[in-house]
């Protein structure tokens, strides 16, 4: 664990810090001793010129996949000022005309150059960072409940309103632009690293559905939208799964049937046939992990609805 800080990629380090932080909250699991130094290494990597993290050490590419999870980590570890600066930079510089979060910004000799790619990953971590910051601001202001029902509480909650507004806007944009008419997330993410991107989005949509305070009409509507996207996506993915030995194989496209990767008969296949077999997206662990992240998110949302005396009937009922 002592070599964690030698990794040049800040997205890798931020995700690892988040994972280790969560692991430390599990019963009988100790927080690794190297976690504080990893967290501080990430904070120390903030570029003095831009105020945010580069993708990796020595780079001039500043992207949401690195800064989003880092901001979540910073908010959770009471580095709130750094988390707010990073998140404000994202929303000041990387929102496109549809209200979606773009990939990043690259510094060139002629000036900054936007990288306009849109990924579910970026929407998820932007939502997650805003939620952690807003809840931490409320906690700092002495609001111990999720409901603001008095004018004095409303005054205390003022600082968090900007971040709640960002959550509302991104969740609405995701609902409009990244789902089909049933509310199933249908963004093409393929295989490799991309296979995880929808799973990252639904993890933080579930957080919104569960943890966003329900003390305003806009918050309540946003919670409903987030819950719907998670549950509709889960229903679709589950219905389109394959089963092998009684276990599910999830599709990379959450609106269509999963494909079964096959590896038999390759000795007599042409190179093109081999490539097509190897590149079946469902083969990748990232794709399957994304499906399981969706199932986990849906289970949490469904449990929360049930605990609150509600239920989600779905589009078919």
290: which 2 tokens?
């994304």
pLDDT attached to residue 275 = 55
- Put residue 251 in one of left, alpha, beta given phi > 0 → left and psi -120 to 50 → alpha: beta
pLDDT attached to residue 282 = 95
Range(s) for CATH 1.50.10.20 in the chain? 1-141
- Quote the CA–CA distance of 252 and 245 in Å, as a whole number: 20
pLDDT attached to residue 3 = 80
The total of other beta-carbon atoms located within 10 Å of residue 56's CB is: 17
pLDDT attached to residue 316 = 46
pLDDT attached to residue 29 = 86
pLDDT attached to residue 262 = 76
The reported pTM is 0.91
pLDDT attached to residue 128 = 99
pLDDT attached to residue 180 = 98
Pair 302, 312: CB distance under 8 Å: yes
- Quote the CA–CA distance of 226 and 196 in Å, as a whole number: 19
- Quote the CA–CA distance of 116 and 242 in Å, as a whole number: 35
Q: Which helix (H) or strand (E) holds 112?
A: strand 111-118
**Closest CA relative to residue 126, chosen from 89, 160, 177, 179:** 89
pLDDT attached to residue 123 = 99
- Quote the CA–CA distance of 285 and 213 in Å, as a whole number: 34
Q: Which CATH class, in words, describes the domain spanning 1-141?
A: mainly alpha
| One pLDDT digit (tens) per residue for the chain, 317 residues | 558 899 999 999 999 999 999 998 888 888 889 999 999 999 999 999 999 999 999 999 999 999 999 999 999 999 999 999 999 999 999 999 999 999 999 999 999 999 999 999 999 999 999 999 999 999 999 886 555 555 555 556 789 999 999 999 999 999 999 999 999 999 999 999 999 999 999 999 999 999 999 999 999 999 999 999 999 999 999 999 999 999 999 999 999 999 998 765 555 556 565 555 567 999 999 999 999 999 999 999 999 999 998 877 766 43
The total of other beta-carbon atoms located within 10 Å of residue 249's CB is: 17
């Amino acid at each position: 664990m002592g070599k964690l800080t030698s990794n040049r990629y800040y997205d890798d380090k931020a995700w690892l810090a988040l994972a280790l932080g969560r692991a430390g909250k599990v019963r009988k699991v100790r927080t690794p001793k190297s976690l504080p130094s990893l967290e501080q290494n990430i904070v120390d990597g903030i570029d003095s010129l831009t105020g945010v993290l580069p993708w990796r050490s020595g780079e001039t590419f500043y992207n949401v996949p690195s800064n989003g999870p880092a901001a979540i980590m910073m908010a959770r570890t009471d580095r709130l000022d750094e988390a707010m600066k990073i998140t404000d930079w994202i929303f000041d510089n990387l929102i496109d005309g549809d209200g979606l979060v773009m990939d990043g910004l690259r510094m060139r000799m002629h000036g900054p150059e936007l990288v306009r790619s849109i990924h579910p990953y970026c929407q998820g971590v932007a939502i997650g960072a805003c939620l952690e910051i807003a809840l931490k601001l409320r906690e700092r202001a002495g609001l111990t409940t999720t409901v603001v029902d008095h004018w004095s509480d409303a005054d205390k909650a003022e600082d968090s309103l900007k971040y709640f507004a960002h959550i509302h806007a991104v969740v609405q944009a995701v609902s409009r632009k990244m789902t089909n008419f049933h509310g199933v997330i249908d963004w093409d993410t393929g295989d490799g690293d991309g296979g995880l991107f929808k799973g990252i989005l639904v993890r933080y949509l579930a957080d919104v559905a569960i943890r966003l305070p329900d003390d305003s009409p806009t918050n309540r509507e946003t919670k409903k939208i987030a819950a719907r996207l998670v549950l509709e996506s889960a229903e679709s993915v589950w219905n389109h799964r394959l089963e092998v030995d009684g276990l599910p194989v999830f599709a990379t496209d959450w609106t269509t049937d999963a494909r079964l990767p096959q590896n038999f008969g390759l000795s007599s296949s042409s190179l093109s046939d081999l490539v097509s077999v190897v590149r079946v997206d469902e083969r990748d662990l990232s794709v399957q992990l994304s499906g399981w992240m969706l199932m986990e998110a849906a289970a949490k949302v469904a449990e929360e609805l049930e605990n609150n005396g509600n239920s989600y009937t779905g589009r078919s009922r």
